[in-house]
Amino acid sequence: MEAGEQKRRLEYCWIALCISFLLGIGQQVSAQIRYSIPEEVKEGTALGSIAKDLGLEVSSLMDRQFRIVSGSKEELFQINQENGVLYVHKKIDRESLCAGSGVCMVNLKTVIENPLEIHYVEVEISDINDHSPSFPEKEQRLRIYENTLPGADYQLQAARDPDSGSNSVRSYKLSPNDHFEIRVRESDEDRKPFLVLKKAVDREIATTYKLLLTAVDGGNPPRSGNLNINITVLDINDNRPVFSRETYSATLQENSVIGTVVIRVNAADIDEGSNSDIEYSFGTLNSKQHDVFELDQVTGEIRIKGEVDFEDTEVYELDIQASDKGHPPMSANCRVVIKIIDMNDNRPDIEITSLSKSIPEDSKPGTVISLISVTDKDAGIN
């Protein structure tokens, strides 16, 4: 009795040793049969009759314990010992099983006992278009100077698609616009999109551009993903200040109080930032103009700083310059004509010129004895 039990133990040890040995060298043996199945098929889907394909008797499979002993860690496949069919045990996601775009292959080792046999099976997992292209971020911001020459390019985010082959990213499309286009640079690894300036931008016409980049895969039907592109056009100092008028006119009463605002000139610059900040200054002034008027560099207000006398000067013509703070600065000029209104601030001046020192007593009526002249420095009715 003990001798028989010892004999059975030796047989089991021998079988186990043979299995371990064969499994050890099995990595170097090529597969005997190959199956192919798409990812994401339902659990229980049959790949084929593995027993029939290996030439095994279906009726003996259960007694001989036909089974899979190595392959995927998730036990994706199992063998039905009643009919010898290899079937999907768990749902298969190709992208998690095989990263990248190469061939996705699962190698299975099967064992059948009495007598001991080991068979090798390859299962190719084919890709389906179950993922859409996606970008690392939803939005990409770009800043472009308005003097940038056409042909300049800017690298954009590349879309990623876990699918492989024709189901991966195949093309990029840009929303319709007049200034930009997409150029794709292809390499062995991927396709990189670049935004190319095809027509110069002008910040004074448009300060921003909002575009949509679409990545499309090659599936049927195709799937896509989007990236929002927000472009800010940066200013350069390409515009001069412009006065609201070429010539300003004002009237001013003489003897006006010092500090009185005579007129305000105004210029605007459609650039932005320091390129649109304006400073006002006088052109060349003569001594009288300089003594009478001052100019606020910021507001453009012309004020009185000295005595205004109609009798001294009736009309002042001042040249004003507006300059921006760009590099280099740009400027514009205008003229201000100030007419002085006369005030009745002078008494008449009477001058008598005698023609003789004495008048004869027999002088006739109408005889001219002296000349009287009256002058007034004021004007008009004054």
**DSSP letters spanning 156-205:** -PPPB-SS-GGGSEEEEEE---SSEEEEEEE-SS-EEEEEEE-S---TTT
- Checking if the pLDDT of 14 tops 80, the result is no
Domain with CATH 2.60.40.60 in the chain: 2-126, 139-234, 242-341
* The CATH number, out of the four listed (3.30.420.10, 2.60.40.60, 3.90.920.10, 3.40.50.970), of the domain defined by the range 242-341: 2.60.40.60
CA distance 290 to 283: 11
Ranges 21-35, 93-107, 180-194, 301-315: which has the least confidence: 21-35
pLDDT of residue 28: 40
Contact indicator for 170, 215 with CB cutoff of 8 Å: no
Mean per-residue pLDDT, 136-161: 94
Ranges 193-197, 272-276, 333-337, 340-344: which has the least confidence: 340-344
- Checking if the pLDDT of 190 tops 70, the result is yes
Name the CATH superfamily for 2-126: Cadherins (2.60.40.60)
Look at residues 47, 44, 78, 43 and name the one whose alpha carbon lies nearest to residue 61. Answer: 78
- Checking if the pLDDT of 156 tops 90, the result is yes
* The CATH number, out of the four listed (2.60.40.10, 3.40.30.10, 2.60.40.60, 3.40.50.300), of the domain defined by the range 139-234: 2.60.40.60
Ranges 273-277, 314-318, 377-381: which has the least confidence: 377-381
Mean per-residue pLDDT, 184-196: 86
The overall pTM is greater than 0.75: no
Q: To the nearest whole percent, how much of the chain has pLDDT over 90? A: 57
pLDDT of residue 371: 73
Q: pLDDT tens across 17-73, in order?
A: 444 444 444 344 456 899 999 988 999 999 999 999 998 988 888 889 999 888 777
pLDDT of residue 191: 85
What is the CB neighbour count within 10 angstroms for residue 330?
A: 17
Confidence bin at 16 (pLDDT 50/70/90): very low
Residue of 164 and 202 predicted with greater confidence:
202
Long-range CB pairs of 200-203, under 8 A, 24+ apart, other chains included: 200/146, 200/147, 200/148, 200/149, 200/150, 201/144, 201/146, 201/148, 201/233, 202/146, 202/233, 203/146, 203/233, 203/234, 203/235, 203/236, 203/271, 203/272
pLDDT of residue 167: 85
